[in-house]
Amino acid sequence: MWGCPEPGSRVADRWWFRRLLQKPRQSSSLTGSSQNASTGCSASSSPSSSSSARSSSSSAGTAMPRAGRLAAVDISSSGSARWAKSYDVCICHSEVDLEFVEELVSYLESQPQSFRCFLQLRDAVAGSAIMTELCDAVQNSHCWVMLITPSFLQDPWCKYQMHQALAEAPMSNGRTIPVLKDIDRKDYPRELRNLYYISTVLKENSFRQIRDTVLHYLEELCRSSASGTEQ
């Protein structure tokens, strides 16, 4: 074969030895592919970083509405519109349901806001006319809890007080709070069917809902009163 020393000679041995010692050079295509691979790695990290940037920006976006929430109002301050009425909430109920009502009143009055509750058998003036007491209780309270039970539906005085509350605030705006106990939805009074009601299936949960509804109304009342004063 041309270009190769004759096998078995010393020259041939040295030639093969030099060939073994020589390191093969990397081809330009291999070098280019390795550079592309490294470039590809750095490029692949870019979407990850942009993804994290989008994630942080989206989380910042979701946090903005929280920052924009209305600040809490101190409903117990001396100049609060809360004190324009004698009671925060009047509990309209049948005497048969007194045990449940006393538990609710105890819960509301023990809250940090110390809600002022009108309980007829406790707070009505002895010797006063029932009709007068019921009307005064409605007019002197910010909110009215209607405990709708089978006994409530059969009690003419409960219905009278319910109608007085609806006449006092026809649009309600959170002032009338229907609470259903031991009755079917079909027995819900027609006069209240444009209002959402609270179910007492889970008693503790219903107490919290009543508390939150009364508190929300008082906060809105105080907030609007304060803004009107500033203007």
Chain centroid offset of residue 191 CA: 29
**168 and 141 in contact (C-beta within 8 Å)?**
no
- pLDDT for the residue 227: 78
Q: Which CATH architecture has domain 81-223?
A: 3-Layer(aba) Sandwich (3.40)
By percentage, how much of the chain surpasses pLDDT 70?
67
Measured CA to CA, the distance from residue 185 to residue 61 in angstroms comes to 41
Extents of the domains making up the chain: 81-223
The pTM score is 0.67
pLDDT at 31: 46
- Residue pair 216/174 in contact (Cβ under 8 Å)? The answer is yes
Mean pLDDT for 51-66 is 43
Beta bridge partners of 145: 91, 177
Tens digit of pLDDT for each residue in 84-101? 999 999 999 999 999 999
Nearest alpha-carbon partner for 198 in 143, 147, 144: 147
Per-residue pLDDT tens over the stretch 169-203: 877 788 999 999 999 988 999 999 889 999 999 99
